[in-house]
Amino acid sequence: MSFKKFDFEVGLPLDRFIKKKQDDFPYATGELSQLLRDIALAGKLVNLAISKSGLLGIEGAMGKNNVQGEAQQHLDVIANDRFINALKNGGEVAGIISEEEDNIIKVNCDGKYIVAIDPLDGSSNIDVNVSIGTIFSIYRRKSEIGGKVTKEDVLQSGNQQVAAGYLLYGSSSMLVFTTGAGVYGFTYEPSIGEFFLSHNNIQIPEKETYYSVNEGSYFNFDDSIRQYIDQCKKSGISARYIGSLVADFHRNLLKGGIYFYPRTKSYPEGKLRLCYECNALAFLVEQAGGMASNGQQRILDIKPESMHQRCPMYIGNKSMVEEVISLINEVATP
């Protein structure tokens, strides 16, 4: 299906933007629009909790790990609850998969959509007041409406997404999303509780401004990745790495650059999660004129085999992603 990208007036409220977009597609029936509103509402509640976390004493780890084996923060649980409750109350979602949950959350058998979500990406940075975020993907369910949600519903390749995006909680909070017709960014105005269009039809700059990678793992990377990092340094490309995927991706989306989390000796399959991190950002970056790969193939063409499947990711400027893929193939060739 081909989509037309639209230009909208900066300052347009999110609800009015969604209504205008819906009017442009005669077959739209409103469920996806409502689902995006539900996600925006949950984002407002999470933003409020984050802004008051120090005063409410809800910072820090809970002392237990999630399904990924990672230390679970208090705000991880709060964010997970906020999004699940908002999606349940909205009524448009049949099932949810979350970084914080072992299994599929079955919500409403009459719902048409599946949501894959990382409720609070970068949560280990909460205590030091660094930007963090939420990442989400939306799919149409495959199974019959009214029946039970199946694994086939949640294990769809990223090219089946109908919408994807992220919320960034920082010096200003933003909602950035695509429905397959361009990428749009909305900045939150907390005094009136509304998101307003601030970034219209985002396109990633062609300039190779930044490279973003955890160089603390340099000696755990394959030779090809170390060579690419060395090339970036020799070319004078600036290194920027926050450690919050959403924040690193957002900066490069607006300024130009590449983010990559390759496989390492500790994580031979990569560390990022395909279903609720890589797919969403890959959809966004392609809509913005960029590229996303696992080093061998397009991220969006990978068929997941499990909910929490990990995946290497190289994402950003097309020229930079192509260059690192070329090095990977060159070094791998005897």
More confident residue, 309 or 64: 309
Torsion of CA 284, 287, 289, 291, to 10 degrees: 50
Tokens 């496989």 belong to which residue? 263
Please, which residues bridge with residue 272 across strands? 311
Relative orientation angle of helices 31-51 and 74-90, to the nearest 10 degrees: 150
> What pLDDT, in 10s, does the model give residues 108-147?
999 999 999 999 998 778 778 889 999 999 999 999 999 9
Q: Is residue 128 a contact partner of residue 148, using CB atoms and an 8 Å limit? A: no
- pLDDT of the residue at 20: 83
The answer to whether the annotation marks 99 as part of a ligand binding site is: yes
Rounded CA-CA distance 288/111 in Å is 30
- pLDDT of the residue at 37: 94
> Rounded to 5 degrees, what angle do the CA atoms 221, 136, 34 make?
170
- pLDDT of the residue at 333: 57
CATH fold for domain 14-199: Fructose-1,6-Bisphosphatase; Chain A, domain 1 (3.30.540)
The answer to whether the annotation marks 52 as part of a ligand binding site is: no
The residue type at 260: F
pLDDT surpasses 50 at 53: yes
Six token digits for residue 261: 């989390």
- pLDDT, mean of residues 36-64: 74
- pLDDT, mean of residues 16-22: 84
172-188: string of b/e by CB count within 10 Å (b at 16+)? ebbbbbbbebbbbbbbb
The answer to whether the annotation marks 248 as part of a ligand binding site is: no
If you count them, how many residues does the chain have? Answer: 334
Helix residue spans in the chain (DSSP H)? 14-23, 31-51, 53-56, 74-90, 151-154, 223-235, 245-255, 279-287, 318-332
The answer to whether the annotation marks 241 as part of a ligand binding site is: yes
The answer to whether the annotation marks 222 as part of a ligand binding site is: no
- pLDDT of the residue at 55: 43
The answer to whether the annotation marks 121 as part of a ligand binding site is: yes
- pLDDT of the residue at 56: 46
pLDDT surpasses 80 at 169: yes
Q: How many C-beta neighbours within 10 Å does residue 237 have? A: 19
Q: Around 249, how many Cα atoms within 13 Å sit in the side-chain half-sphere? A: 32
Give the domain ranges of the chain.
Answer: 14-199, 210-332
Q: How many C-beta neighbours within 10 Å does residue 127 have? A: 14
> What pLDDT, in 10s, does the model give residues 138-158?
999 999 999 999 999 999 999
- pLDDT of the residue at 73: 72
The answer to whether the annotation marks 266 as part of a ligand binding site is: no
The answer to whether the annotation marks 303 as part of a ligand binding site is: no
pLDDT surpasses 90 at 3: no
CATH fold for domain 210-332: D-Maltodextrin-Binding Protein; domain 2 (3.40.190)
The answer to whether the annotation marks 197 as part of a ligand binding site is: no
Tokens 């609800």 belong to which residue? 15
